[in-house]
Amino acid sequence: MAMTKEEKLAALKEKIASTNVGGGGAGFWSPPQGATTVRILPEVGDMPFFYQEAGQHYLPDRTQVTCPNFTSEGDLPCPICELVSELYRGTEADKKMAGELRVRKSYWMNIVVRKAGDRGGDTAEGPFIFTPGVTIFTDVASLIANPDYGDITDPEDGFDITITRTGEKMETKYSVVARRMPNPLHVDNDEFNRILDTAADLLFVELSDNSAEDKELSEGFVLKLKPYDRIIRDYGVEPGMNAAALNAKAVDADPKQSVKQTLAARKTRRAEKNEEPDADVVDEPDDDVVDEPEGDAQVDEAFAQSRTRRRTRRATK
């Protein structure tokens, strides 16, 4: 039996309350400078909620590895998480490496982007996958907890939000505000259904130890988790390594050495030639780092019954 809107909102608030917030490619969206209005989509496919937590490790050569332990809420082991715990008990260099390797969390969700001047559901570019960190997610959670807004993802009477990005590089800041009045996902019924039908099911899938099976196993999934032994095999990172071994591996794996080494060498060459340096790329502030992944509460049985895509609006007038 489908849940009422009140029951769904209560389950969503319970889920967010138990979500530990801690301290692009094709189809993905990142906020540009300035203000952009978007609509967060509700859960689709087998997603129990509108968002999927995901953890990422960044290796010394900047290779990105999705953390199976954090993303699965502790159900799957991760050799990199185990290595991080070991490194924190090592030398100062090891501890520094642990801080660079520890999991960074994001919250995957589907959105559509409104065009400037949208009067309330007139336009919708996408859907896109948006992977904000802690700052934006916390603002979204605050809106959902606010009785004046509630479930802002409701496709019929939810709320658009405006994300404002200011500053650059390490000074980048984000703010989130909701529109004052609710509005539908889209005023056109066909477009309304298209958006929900084409949004990505962001529930994760666990791959096998055999890469030849990846395509078959991951069909229809965006977020893919590699098993413990395969992470070790594919990336050469495992418990027992120290900072020196990890740095040496990064240099061996990348002919241009690490990102920092490459930039340093480039600056040296320019200085020798008296050239003006280009602006180096700097990561935006990390406000989504956690030491150890923590599992959320299990999804309520009643909410699990509502894991179906909402394909149609209320009966058209």
- Whether residue 180 contacts residue 120, with contact meaning beta carbons closer than 8 Å, is answered with no
pLDDT tens string 39-84? 999 999 999 999 999 999 999 999 999 999 999 999 999 999 999 9
pLDDT band at 12 (very low <50, low <70, confident <90, very high): confident
pLDDT band at 196 (very low <50, low <70, confident <90, very high): very high
Domain for residue 233, yes or no? yes
Residue 295 tokens, joined: 């599992």
Strands 224-225 and 205-206, how do they pair? Answer: parallel
What predicted TM-score, i.e. pTM, was given to this entire model? Answer: 0.72
Q: Is the dihedral of CA 68, 69, 70, 72 positive or negative?
A: positive
Residues 195 and 208 grouped into a single domain: no
Residues 152 and 12 grouped into a single domain: yes
pLDDT band at 18 (very low <50, low <70, confident <90, very high): low
DSSP letters spanning 7-64: HHHHHHHHHHHT-------TTEE---SEEEEEEE----TT-SSSEEEEEEEE-TT--E
SS3 82: helix
pLDDT at 294 > cutoff 80: no
DSSP letters spanning 92-110: HHHHHHHHHHS-EEEEEEE
Instruction: Mean pLDDT check: name the lowest of 112-116, 171-175, 239-243, 258-262.
Output: 258-262
Residue 227 tokens, joined: 């098993």
Q: Is the dihedral of CA 40, 41, 45, 47 positive or negative?
A: positive
Domain for residue 317, yes or no? no
Per-residue confidence (pLDDT) for residue 264, from 0 to 100: 52
Residues 78 and 121 grouped into a single domain: no
Residues 24 and 131 grouped into a single domain: yes
Average pLDDT of span 192-208? 95
pLDDT at 8 > cutoff 50: yes
Average pLDDT of span 214-221? 90
Residues 15 and 157 grouped into a single domain: yes
Residues 122 and 248 grouped into a single domain: no
Instruction: Mean pLDDT check: name the lowest of 3-7, 24-28, 284-288.
Output: 284-288
pLDDT band at 10 (very low <50, low <70, confident <90, very high): confident
Per-residue confidence (pLDDT) for residue 223, from 0 to 100: 93
Contacts within 8 Å (CB) and 24+ apart, 114-121: 114/36, 114/37, 114/38, 114/39, 114/160, 118/37, 118/160, 120/160, 120/179, 120/181, 120/183, 120/184, 120/187, 121/183, 121/184, 121/185, 121/186, 121/187
Residues 119 and 236 grouped into a single domain: no
Residues 191 and 211 grouped into a single domain: no
Domain for residue 78, yes or no? yes
pLDDT band at 267 (very low <50, low <70, confident <90, very high): low
Residues 130 and 248 grouped into a single domain: no
Domain for residue 288, yes or no? no
Per-residue confidence (pLDDT) for residue 286, from 0 to 100: 47
Residues 116 and 190 grouped into a single domain: yes
Domain for residue 236, yes or no? yes
Number of domains, the chain: 2
pLDDT at 260 > cutoff 70: no
CA gap 99, 298 in Å, rounded: 29
In this structure, what CATH number is given to the domain that contains residue 165?
3.90.198.10
Domain that holds residue 176: 1-49+110-199
pLDDT at 305 > cutoff 50: no
Domain for residue 134, yes or no? yes
Residues 124 and 175 grouped into a single domain: yes
